Structure 1
Amino acid sequence: MIRFATIGSGKIVEQFLTEAKKHPEFQLAAVYSRTPERAAEFASQWGATLTFTDLQALADCPEVDAVYIASPNLCHAEQAITLMKAGKHILCEKPMATTYIDCDGMVLQAHNSRVILLEGMRPLFTPGFRRLHELIPEIGTLRRITAGYCRYSSRYDSYLAGGRPNAFDPRLNNAAVADLGVYCIAPTIALAGEPERVASFCSKLGEFEAQGAAIAQYPGFLAEWRWSKIADSPLPSVIEGEKGAIVIGKWDTMSPLTLCLRGQEPKEIPPEDDTSALYAELDAFITMIKRRGGNEAYLSISLATCRVLDEIAKQNKITFRQTCWNMVVHRDE
């Protein structure tokens, strides 16, 4: 049994806990929140016995083995490093970090503390992604990946009414490319590796990057990414090869998949199973903890994604605050 704490109390944490409660080796031991009232309320709702409002106290708690972090993006690196220093394993919501320096610091701390660090990049854990990986050889030489995640934010109306919701606060590293664009970038890197070059453009609301697009150059093919917090898009994503294409209805869930080979009728490809991505993500994380490894490829994807984020931020003058590099400590060998 792995004893978990959670940081955050938003919708994604509730979705995570709904799936986590189904796992035979998951136990919710503690809840961290900024206020005692919210911590107590959330703990009561989900059956946790311990509550914390002090991060170091959570780090020092011997009754917690691992922490699921779903706080604002800006907080991820500092919270994760503090907890990893104390020997806690970390499952961190995407984006694990918004700068390469922060991501590299987190990975280094995980190595130094000999704990498991994993980014909760849900598309990579979907049954559809596994099936997609198997289908790509059928379409021949890869020529183009077009991936989009455009979703009108539930907080945008509040912003338009004069509010300043966290989802549109540039001080929290919550730019659209960090919140949604990474859903396009990371799976592309998982499928095809890191691009040689990236050219990108964005639209801003004041200092806040609200939507954008990028073209990434690979040897012999291109990747095109589009993301938005201020508009929905019904367009599917497509992977094109010389013998055909794979149409992905929703890139974030990697479903439904349709195989379109030249000269043949389109064929809908069912997933191998109906396991939720959140459950699969948690199951993989727990397996890594028990095996004391197995997360290396995922960390490489996280690092490469942050290198691309750095380039997109540089090209579009998006400011992502770095928080953690001087926090990293080395374990004495």
Structure 2
Amino acid sequence: MSTEIRWGIVGLGKIADTFARDLALVPEAALTAVASRGLKKAEAFKEKHKAVYALGSYEELFNCPEVDVIYIATPHSHHAPLALRAMECGKHVLCEKPMGVNREQSSTMLNMAREKKVFFMEALWSRFMPAIVRAKELVDSGALGEVRYIHADFAFYALDRDPEGRLLNPELAGGSLLDIGIYPVFLSYMLLGKPEKVHGVSRFHQTGAEIETSMIFEYDGAQALLFSGLTCNSEMKAMICGTKGTIYVHPRWHESQELTLQLGDEVHSLPLPKLGKGYVHEINEVHNCLNKGQLQSELWSHQNSLDLIELLDLVRSQNGIRFPFE
């Protein structure tokens, strides 16, 4: 592959807009093509972000010979079919989280990646944030001793949103758990692995979408208290407590730029600035993998994605969270 890596973007909403701005900060990245279901929207996005091509269908992008890797930024319900088609056409894929809405979809996507020998990664951008990377390094090094407790939440008020939009519409896999609950679940999994027991309670909107979920993950010697919701605004900070010390991940923790490390009476502030909005770090990981010929990331592997969706499936099954298309 040449030094320049040529990107295409599918689904041109708010997340894609932010991603494109960060893509422009990466010298080796070129925004080659953008695609929407309507050409007018694609052309407006192209002009704003200085892409080479605006395409009025996803299929045109999947078959564009000048694109190396495709970023999929559609609602969750569309991730699997679009990612599968892109890989069928031989494209590398970075797919927004969750990559599939359940383990069945996710396994099918990863099998396709292996069959076609293309790079595939779930776009769990927080995994590559400097603050999150440093927090994991501190835990893995034993700086906190044995981790005994994790607290992480992610909530914002969204009950005034369009009931047909992606957050409150079950047809689009809407709800808090897959959209933002994935972050607290990810943090606990990244630091402690898969729990021995999971307990969850959910509440639902009149549309049928889950709008609030509390979770307790039980480990051997540790617990994680996790929450996601569309019913209120939470502080969105995280705390990792061990037998020797505590890490406080400053709000908003999933994109934090600072840790506080407390070891006994000693308190250390650790500034860890991100580049751009923060998508730069996952973009760099994709580039590093492609340049090395790797088909998956060592920091966020295919198995990591499968483990994560299994945990989300378990919470969903306990709490009766289902989507009409499943």
Give the SS at the match of 1:167: coil
Residue 226 (structure 2) aligns with: 225
Percent identity between the two aligned chains: 29
Say if 1:249 and 1:257, in contact at 8 Å, map to a contact too: yes
Q: Which TM-score applies when normalising by structure 2?
A: 0.92
CA distance in structure 2 between the aligned counterparts of 1:10 and 1:56, rounded to whole angstroms: 18
Q: Which runs of 5+ in 1 are unaligned?
A: 324-333
How far apart, CA to CA, are the structure 1 residues paired with 2:243 and 2:196? 21
Q: CA 1:85/1:127 → structure 2, altered by over 3 Å: closer, same or farther?
A: same
> Shift of the alpha carbon at 1:81?
0.6
Q: TM-score scaled by structure 1? A: 0.90
Structure 2: distance between partners of 1:235 and 1:12: 20
* Deviation (angstroms), 1:322: 6.5
**Larger deviation: 314-323 or 82-91?**
314-323
Give the secondary structure class of the aligned counterpart of 1:157: coil
CA deviations 1:111-145 (Å, max 9, x no partner) are 11111111111211111012112222211111111
More displaced 10-residue stretch of structure 1: 67-76 or 231-240: 231-240
Does the 8 Å contact 1:184/1:226 carry over to 2? yes
SS at match of 1:138: coil
Counterpart CA distance in 2 for 1:83 and 1:235 is 35
Residue pair 1:123, 1:187 contacting (<8 A) in 2 also: no
Q: 1:41 to 1:275 in 2, by over 3 A?
A: closer
Task: Report the Cα distance in structure 2 between the residues aligned to 1:55 and 1:254, rounded to whole angstroms.
Answer: 34
Question: 51, 71, 78: which one pairs with 1:75?
Answer: 78
| Residue equivalent to 2:17 | 14
**Are the aligned partners of 1:127 and 1:275 in contact in 2 as well (CA < 8 Å)?**
no
Q: Which amino acid aligns with 2:192?
A: A
Match of 1:107 in 2: 110
Is residue 34 from structure 1 mapped to residue 18 from structure 2 by the alignment? no
Identify which range, 303-312 or 289-298, moves more after superposition: 289-298
Q: Tell me if the contact between 1:99 and 1:320 (Cα under 8 Å) persists in the aligned partners.
A: no
> 1:213 deviation in Å?
1.0
Name the structure 2 match of 1:330. Answer: none
Question: In the TM superposition, what are the counterparts of 1:284-299 in structure 2 within 5 Å?
Answer: 284-293=285-294, 294-296=296-298, 297-299=300-302
Aligned length: 316
The alignment status of 1:186 with 2:200, answered yes or no, reads no
Q: How does 1:73-152 map to 2 (within 5 A)?
A: 73-136=76-139, 137-152=142-157
User: Is the Cα contact below 8 Å between 1:115 and 1:292 reproduced in 2?
Assistant: no
TM-superposition CA deviations, 1:66-111 (whole Å, max 9, x none)? 1111100000011001000111011111111220111111111111
CA-based RMSD of the aligned residues comes to 1.7
Change (3 A) 1:321 1:132: farther
Q: Distance in 2 between matches of 1:3 and 1:66?
A: 7
> In the aligned structure 1, how far is the partner of 2:308 from the partner of 2:172?
19
Which of the residues 257, 260, 267 maps onto 1:258? 260
Long gaps (5+) in structure 2: none
Report which structure shows greater RCO (CA 8 Å, sep ≥6). Answer: 1
Q: Distance in 2 between matches of 1:148 and 1:18?
A: 27
* 1:239 alignment partner AA: I
Residue of structure 2 equivalent to 1:268: 269
- Report the Cα distance in structure 1 between the residues aligned to 2:324 and 2:8, rounded to whole angstroms: 26
Q: Residues 258-292 of structure 1: CA distance to partner in whole angstroms, max 9, x if unpaired? A: 11223x14322222x54343101001101111212
- C-alpha contact 1:140 1:243 (8 A) present in aligned 2: yes
One-letter identity of the residue aligned with 1:179: D
The alpha-carbon deviation at position 255 of structure 1 amounts to 4.0
Is the contact between residue 22 and residue 280 of structure 2 (CA under 8 Å) also seen in structure 1?
A: yes
> What is the match of residue 247 of structure 2?
246
Q: Distance in 1 between matches of 2:174 and 2:320?
A: 14
Question: Aligned partners of 1:126 and 1:232: how far apart in 2?
Answer: 23
Contact 2:316/2:322 (<8 A) preserved? yes
Report the counterpart of residue 236 of structure 1 in structure 2.
237
1:135 maps to amino acid:
L
Match of 1:196 in 2: 196
Mean Cα displacement is larger for which, 237-246 or 52-61?
Answer: 52-61
